[in-house]
Amino acid sequence: MGVESELYQLREQIRDHDYRYYVLDEPIIADSDYDKLMQALLILEAKHPELVTRDSPSQRVSGMVQEGFQPMSHGRPMLSLDNCFDKDSFQTFYQRIDEKLGSGTWTLAAEPKLDGLAVNLTYEKGQLVSAATRGDGQSGEDISTNVRTMRVIPLKLRSQVIPEYIEIRGEVIMTLSAFNVLNARCLDQGQKTFVNPRNAAAGSLRQLDANITAERSLHFFAYGVGVAKGISFVTHAQMLEQLAQWGLPVNQLSTLCKNLNEAESYYQDLASKRPSLDYGIDGAVFKINEVDKQAKLGYTGRAPRYAIAYKYPAEEAQTLLENISFQVGRSGAITPVAKLKSVFVGGANVQHASLHNLHEVHRKDVRVGDTVLVRRAGDVIPEVIRPILSLRPPHAEHVKPPTHCPSCQGKIAIKDDGMHMLCLRGDACSGQMLGQIKHFVSRKAMNIDGLGDKIVQMLLAESLVRRPVDLYYLNENSVATLPRMGELSAANLIQAIEQSKAVSLGRFIYALGIPEVGWATANQLANYFGDLQAIMEADTAILERINDVGEVVAANIVSYFADDLYKDHIVALQQAGVTWHHEHMHDRSMLGMRIVITGKFANFSREELTEHCEVLGAKVSCSVSKKTDVLLCGEDAGSKLTKAQKIGVQIISQENLDSFLSQYR
């Protein structure tokens, strides 16, 4: 046998054993025999380095430590899911779809909502070429080197049907058993333990030294695709089947439901299986199975209308309320915070819980010394539900509202209802500034890496920074004066600040911290207006045309931009070198797609349609070939339609055009 075929066979054998061991969980050889095969491969490759391929099982670990993670944009946005928490709202979701699609014409694919982190794997001609975190949905971080170490993820797709190019989406998780082993080891070595399996999975994946990722036994389940060229799917179930055939792990609890009852039972059954699963789930995900029906339903801003996460109620636990303190937020609101005796709930240790405002404290009648019921779900801030009155000790005390701001000792204004307290010192209150700067640098805002809470606190304490704009005037020398800040970290921090200067308009608006303008609203504003000046000049009536923007938010936006203080701050940021550019939320979502347009359309000229698709990144060509992904077919179509039908190209007719395009806004 020639060396090349020997190498080929060894690699195929190892891939097959990896697949059986990691994906099927049914190994057929002993570990020692597997090691022998791997040794044989390594020896042969060492003799013939010119024959080493990127997809060889020997190429999973790289010796190099990475310097950082580069941004990587997704071919198609990675959306999130709308949530519901009870039978009624799930029923509403179901009925709305039934009305839209017609009873009996569709089914629901059901699967667990995995509690991990979403990643996007890109395979070109069957080879894993890159992997990225979800990030903000448009782009994430390049974690290719780390993902390559995960033996559950094939470097090369199995089976004969190999697509030209495909993005495969799924969840990286850490099993509970792996989590326990890892935490026990951390404890043993005197290191910090992880709060929950999801944090452990995220921390293990985002390691600059991928050897650490390799040691952390991470698992993966595939549940979707993004851009797909050279393959299309009729149903979600068919797609999952194909993913499994390619050698990707697909969750075994995925199934189909024909009606509302079946879906409700799936949700209940899954809940009863939950305690015995070796991985965390926080609900069931339901997706319309038929891909053409999915397209018909389209998307809202950030989530598809064809899917929903039906979540399990948040976990509750009892613990002692040791104290109630007050803290000031970035807008000056002063809120009571419960200090709790540490308790494990909803997958994490909880020591603090929000009490929202004084009214809440009175309404719930929680007192210091009470045993209280606390609730925590996912990443939501833990919440005190109520005291357990039978356990109330005689000395349990009502909390006394503060007379001065807990941060700057400034005067407090009490709002009309007597329950909402506000620190009026604005910029002069370090607590408010801390909140504002933390928000400004956060991941969805200016995304300044390495500027954690502690450093922000120190920068404020040392008076190096007062307002967000001051960050842009820091230099390596001034930063290096901070405690425990080495030269290298100082240089990295300054570089990260420098890099944050060019930012998308949506992020910039979000970073401003306008009351009640969250990330989604900020991006909608950016998409609607396209530039900041137009938003600054808009009146409430225009603002209210935007999804999500009601009277209150519109008024907040107008009064924010009417305030000279904020206007000056924006100018100052600009003078410091901050620039913003507009990028549409779903920009380039047709990237790489090859489209042919034929026939006449009622609402578009051919030129308009071509431009629309090209702006989103598609290639529009004149003739249909095997490479064509989609034919947009209007009335009076001729030979292009016949040819597309013959080759089996996806055809979008006039009546489906809107829903097709709505996927790629």
State which of residues 13, 53, 80, 495 lies at the interface with ligand IVH (CB under 6 A).
80
Closest separation in Å from C-beta 207 to ligand IVH = 20
Closest separation in Å from C-beta 304 to ligand IVH = 5
State which of residues 136, 142, 167, 171 lies at the interface with ligand IVH (CB under 6 A).
171
The SS3 of residue 223 is: strand
Residue 66 touches ligand IVH, criterion: CB under 6 A: no
In the bound state with ligand IVH, the residue whose beta carbon lies nearer, of 156 and 311, is 311
In the bound state with ligand IVH, the residue whose beta carbon lies nearer, of 83 and 91, is 83
Choices 74-82, 145-153, 472-480, 521-529 (CB under 6 A): range interacting with ligand IVH: 74-82
Query: For residue 299, what is the DSSP state?
Result: B
Residue 224 touches ligand IVH, criterion: CB under 6 A: yes
Closest separation in Å from C-beta 309 to ligand IVH = 6
Query: Contact 327/352 with Cβ under 8 angstroms?
Result: no
In the bound state with ligand IVH, the residue whose beta carbon lies nearer, of 77 and 126, is 77
State which of residues 11, 134, 236, 356 lies at the interface with ligand IVH (CB under 6 A).
134
State which of residues 113, 439, 588, 640 lies at the interface with ligand IVH (CB under 6 A).
113
In the bound state with ligand IVH, the residue whose beta carbon lies nearer, of 300 and 574, is 300
Choices 4-12, 40-48, 303-311, 479-487 (CB under 6 A): range interacting with ligand IVH: 303-311
In the bound state with ligand IVH, the residue whose beta carbon lies nearer, of 249 and 304, is 304
Binding to ligand IVH in span 175-194, by CB under 6 A:
none
Tell me, by CB under 6 A, how many residues bind ligand IVH.
15
| CA–CA separation, 178 and 175 (whole Å) | 5
Closest residue (Cβ) to ligand IVH? 118
Which tokens in the block code for residue 418? 């007597």
In the bound state with ligand IVH, the residue whose beta carbon lies nearer, of 135 and 410, is 135
Helices 505-512 and 519-529, axial angle in degrees (round to 10): 130
Binding to ligand IVH in span 28-57, by CB under 6 A:
none
Residue 111 touches ligand IVH, criterion: CB under 6 A: yes
Choices 86-94, 111-119, 203-211, 614-622 (CB under 6 A): range interacting with ligand IVH: 111-119
Closest separation in Å from C-beta 596 to ligand IVH = 27
Closest separation in Å from C-beta 508 to ligand IVH = 24
Binding to ligand IVH in span 578-597, by CB under 6 A:
none
Query: Contact 321/372 with Cβ under 8 angstroms?
Result: yes
CA dihedral 481, 483, 488, 489 (to 10 degrees): -110
Residue 220 touches ligand IVH, criterion: CB under 6 A: no
In the bound state with ligand IVH, the residue whose beta carbon lies nearer, of 111 and 383, is 111
In the bound state with ligand IVH, the residue whose beta carbon lies nearer, of 106 and 223, is 223
Give per-residue burial for 134-165: e unless 16+ CB within 10 Å, then b: bbbbbbbbbbbbbbbbbbbbbbbbbeeebbeb
Query: For residue 67, what is the DSSP state?
Result: S
Binding to ligand IVH in span 232-291, by CB under 6 A:
285
| CA–CA separation, 528 and 542 (whole Å) | 10
Catalytic residue among 100, 113, 229, 438: 113
Query: Contact 432/440 with Cβ under 8 angstroms?
Result: no
Tell me, yes or no, if 192 is annotated catalytic.
no
Q: Which residues contact 12 (CB under 8 A, 6 or more apart)?
A: none
How far from 321 is each of 251, 274, 341, 381, 393, CA to CA, in Å?
40, 30, 6, 16, 12
In the bound state with ligand IVH, the residue whose beta carbon lies nearer, of 8 and 312, is 312
Please choose, from the candidates 520, 532, 507, the residue with its C-alpha nearest in 3D space to the C-alpha of residue 448: 507
Residue 307 touches ligand IVH, criterion: CB under 6 A: yes
Closest separation in Å from C-beta 286 to ligand IVH = 10
| CA–CA separation, 585 and 250 (whole Å) | 29
* Cα dihedral 321, 325, 327, 333 sign: positive
Query: Contact 405/425 with Cβ under 8 angstroms?
Result: yes
Closest separation in Å from C-beta 359 to ligand IVH = 31
DSSP 487-547: HHHHHHHHHHHHHTTEEEHHHHHHHHT-TT--HHHHHHHHHHHSSHHHHHH--HHHHTTST
In the bound state with ligand IVH, the residue whose beta carbon lies nearer, of 16 and 548, is 548
Binding to ligand IVH in span 462-491, by CB under 6 A:
none
Residue 197 touches ligand IVH, criterion: CB under 6 A: no
| CA–CA separation, 305 and 298 (whole Å) | 6
Closest separation in Å from C-beta 590 to ligand IVH = 17
| CA–CA separation, 78 and 133 (whole Å) | 10
The SS3 of residue 114 is: strand
How far from 556 is each of 226, 418, 429, CA to CA, in Å?
37, 22, 21
Choices 73-81, 209-217, 289-297, 465-473 (CB under 6 A): range interacting with ligand IVH: 73-81
Residue 315: its H or E element: strand 315-328
Query: Contact 634/658 with Cβ under 8 angstroms?
Result: no
Residue 358 touches ligand IVH, criterion: CB under 6 A: no
Residue 223 touches ligand IVH, criterion: CB under 6 A: yes
Closest separation in Å from C-beta 1 to ligand IVH = 44
State which of residues 77, 247, 304, 346 lies at the interface with ligand IVH (CB under 6 A).
304
State which of residues 97, 118, 455, 558 lies at the interface with ligand IVH (CB under 6 A).
118
In the bound state with ligand IVH, the residue whose beta carbon lies nearer, of 80 and 621, is 80
Residue 383 touches ligand IVH, criterion: CB under 6 A: no
State which of residues 41, 79, 200, 377 lies at the interface with ligand IVH (CB under 6 A).
79
Binding to ligand IVH in span 81-110, by CB under 6 A:
81
Is residue 234 exposed (0-12), middle (13-18) or buried (19+ Cβ within 10 Å)? exposed
In the bound state with ligand IVH, the residue whose beta carbon lies nearer, of 225 and 597, is 225
Please choose, from the candidates 245, 104, 277, 98, the residue with its C-alpha nearest in 3D space to the C-alpha of residue 168: 245
| CA–CA separation, 297 and 97 (whole Å) | 8
| CA–CA separation, 307 and 81 (whole Å) | 7
Which tokens in the block code for residue 90? 């799930």
Choices 78-86, 212-220, 267-275, 352-360 (CB under 6 A): range interacting with ligand IVH: 78-86
Closest separation in Å from C-beta 237 to ligand IVH = 13
Closest separation in Å from C-beta 287 to ligand IVH = 7
In the bound state with ligand IVH, the residue whose beta carbon lies nearer, of 305 and 376, is 305
Q: Which residues contact 403 (CB under 8 A, 6 or more apart)?
A: 412
Tally: H helices and E strands in the chain:
24, 24
Closest separation in Å from C-beta 46 to ligand IVH = 40
Indicate which residues carry an active-site annotation.
Answer: 113
Q: Which residues bind ligand IVH (CB under 6 A)?
A: 79-81, 111, 113-114, 118, 134, 171, 223-224, 285, 304, 307, 309
